[in-house]
Amino acid sequence: MTVDAGNPGRGDVAGISAAARERSVKAQTIRDAAAAVDRAIGEANGSVWTGKARESFVAAATILTAELHTSADRLDAEASAFNTYGFGVQEIQNAQRTLELRREEVQGDLARCGHRQDQAERDARATLPLSAESDEAYARSRLLKGQIDDLHGQSAAIEREWGALVERRRSVNATAIASLSGTSVLGPLSMITRGGASVDQVLTQLSAVDLLTLLRTDPSYADRLRAADPSAVAGWWPGLGHSGQDALIAAFPALIGNLEGIAYTARDRANRIWLRQQLADVRNQIDNQSFGSGAGGYGGSGGYETETAIAAALARLRGLEAIQTALRAPKGHAERFLISLTDDKPPLAAVSVGNLDTADSVTWAVPGMGSSAEGLPDWAVASQNLQESQTTVDPDNQHAVVAWVGYNAPPVGGPQVLGTDYAKAGAVNLAASLDGFTATRPVAGLNVVAHSYGTTTASIALTSASVHVDTFVSVGSAGLAPSIDRASDLHADQVFAGQAQDVWLVDPAPGDQWAWFGRAFGDHPVNPVSDSFGAQTFGVDSGAGGAPVTDHGVNVEAGSGYGYLDLNTESIRNVAYATTGQATAITPAVDHGPTPFQQAIIGASGAY
Amino acid sequence: MADLRLDAGTLASIASQVQGGSDALVWNLHRAGFGVLGDDGVADAADDAFQRQKVRTSVLEASVNTAAAYPAHVADRFDDTDSRLARSMQ
């Protein structure tokens, strides 16, 4: 903001007034529209129309009326700011004109007096010294000098007033800027313009219309919203009303579908929209062979990049299609919801079996090595098995299980599974997801069941300060980080662990072929079924309470044995008991001695 | 709860009154720039307010359409049912 010191009254007052008038007229037009909507609400009574759509109409129209009035108020405030500004500029222009006239007059007088004084001096020199003529000429010169001094004083005063006028214009400008950027003109968006307000403070003040406006005028604000406190989001979302929520879901499905604190059914609707959009996008990319500027044509220097890009696009497509498959609940089974979806390549996603908005108890199921969106249909089956087992052992409560593929798991066969980098990164995502649930459903029960490398990931998440769950269950653990060597290190009221007989791949005996490998050779050696860890262990292959686990997997192909989360196994029943507060019903673990094969190879040393 | 139309005329009037709001929201304001306002800072603040009001108005236009769609859809559905019923009676 700089004021032109040579023209402090700069501006077109008539134009400013016209802008103010235009906004006032618009405000009135919008108020008339609000009144019409109000009348329509009044007319939509039970004698005209009954039913759910009428209720939805009244709710949507009521919010619309309020928002129309808000817009009219803001336009009026803008008009008022322009009027005040125009008035201020007009006053400055008037004062400027007066000062300019005075300055012109004083400068003219100064020129005239200077000329007359020069003449008086010449007259004095042309006459005889000490003569009457000489005295008169000198007297005239002195008088004129006095007048000139006085005029210089007046000129300095005019310049001081001019400086004050420049300052006044600065003040008028500052007032106008404050008004145009203030709450009365911008509403809660003024907090962003002014800066300093936290995203939570801003969010709680925003209506759906304001948020839509904000995200369209400043799309980068979506990134800040993602960092909002889920509790603030959970408090804000219901107040938007269905029409506002619907508008946000339709306009920004990727944001709303993954914003922690928003109701999960709303997130499901948003994520399904975004899933369709992503599918259309990647299919279009493949159909049109558009793989970015870095990818050249086949046979050229960019051939490798093209193939890589095509492989990435196909992997993304397979992942997205698998998510779509995972969302199809078999007939007679609990409904499924897409509670999170990313645009990672391949995508990350979470599908809940059962409604997270209404379930009394929710279990996050965290998979291990090799898990990805492509495997989500299988993981959803395992989650469904668990949800149904929970319902069987605890029929009075409503259960939901989240098939959570929300992190990049280490690939099968790679050395990454022996480290904790993937687990640490995944733990951040899992902690955020659990925090979001706690904020959205503070009263509902919350459990985590993790398998294999998923136990490494989940255990790190459960050491986060903000995270707390009722129950953590580890099955077939690939080991926990050395810093987590006690069940009490985990923010869980109860910790359970189940482990099948450890066997080598070549061992013909049934059992878990992989979990021991991660514990023995990885950076995560802590075995949660060890006595020193202090978890409550349970049987998975004791022969009591269900079929024994014969494989490291969670759901094994029928006829090929049993995994940890196959139906009717001892393992899944115990997990169900553990996650429904029925620890006393759990069957105990058995001591696994060496298998005959192990005995044959290394004797009975137990060093397998 | 299924919707029931009891007064077709008033229902049509409701839809039309709400839809009329979109005329009021047609954006016809002019930007007051530096040439009118005479100051960069004021012009920037005015421009920010102008942009946000303009976008807000377009968002409200969509809200008007959403609200007006409820009675309009009900009317359409009943008209459709009426005509099918009439055809079946013939």
Calculate the alpha carbon distances from A264 to A330, A337, A487 in Å.
21, 8, 31
**Least trusted range by pLDDT, from A192-201, A308-317, A499-508:** A192-201
What does the pLDDT look like over A39-84, one tens digit per residue?
999 998 888 788 888 888 999 999 999 999 999 999 999 999 999 9
pLDDT of A604 reads 46
Instruction: Tell me the mean pLDDT in the region A84-110.
Output: 97
Alpha-carbon span A104 to A98, nearest angstrom: 10
Which of B39, B64, B77, B81 is the best substitution to test chain A (most A C-beta atoms within 10 A)? B39
Query: Quick one: average pLDDT of A200-209?
Result: 90
Q: What is the pLDDT of residues B46-81, one digit of tens each?
A: 999 999 999 999 999 999 999 999 888 877 776 777
**pLDDT at residue number B1:** 55
Q: How confident is the model at residue A296 (pLDDT cuts 50, 70, 90)?
A: very low
**Is A480 strand, coil or helix?**
strand
Q: A12 and B36: CB-CB below 8 Å?
A: yes
Instruction: Check CB contact of A76 with chain B, cutoff 8 Å.
Output: no
Residues of chain A with Cβ-Cβ distance to B52 below 8 Å are 186, 189, 213, 217
pLDDT digits (tens, 9 = 90+) for A444-454: 999 999 999 99
Mean pLDDT to the nearest integer, A535-556? 93
**Which residue in A336, A341, A340, A412 sits closest to A371, CA to CA?**
A412
pLDDT of residue A335: 98
Whether residue A298 has pLDDT greater than 50 = no
Averaged pLDDT score across all residues of chain A: 93
8 A C-beta contact, residue A265 and residue A357? yes
Stretch A106-112: mean pLDDT, rounded? 97
Distance, in Å, from the CA atom of A76 to the CA atom of A184, rounded to the nearest integer, reads 9
Please state the rounded mean pLDDT for residues A28-40.
Answer: 96
The per-residue pLDDT for range A115-155, each reduced to its tens digit, is: 999 999 999 999 888 899 999 999 999 999 999 999 999 99
Mean pLDDT of A185-206: 87
What backbone phi and psi angles, to 5 degrees, belong to A119?
-65, -45
A338 φ/ψ angles, rounded to the nearest 5 degrees: -90, 95
pLDDT of residue A606: 44
* Spatial contact of A348 and A407, defined as CB atoms under 8 Å apart: yes
Percent of chain A with pLDDT over 70: 96
Segment A475-500 mean pLDDT: 97
Q: What is the pLDDT of residue A150?
A: 97
CA neighbours within 13 Å on the CB side: how many for A408? Answer: 10
In this structure, what are the phi and psi dihedrals at residue A363, rounded to the nearest 5 degrees? Answer: -120, 125
Whether A513 contacts A408, CB under 8 Å: no
Q: Is A557 helix (H, G, I), strand (E, B) or coil?
A: coil
Residues of chain A numbered 43-72 and touching chain B (CB < 8 Å): 43-44, 46-54, 56-57, 60-61, 63-64, 67-68, 71
CB nearest B7 (choices: A2, A37, A47):
A47
Which ipTM score applies to this complex? 0.89
Residue A536 has pLDDT above 80, yes or no: yes
- For residue B56, the chain A residue with the least C-alpha distance is A213
A170: how many CB neighbours lie within 10 A of its CB?
16
**Range A182-186 average pLDDT:** 96
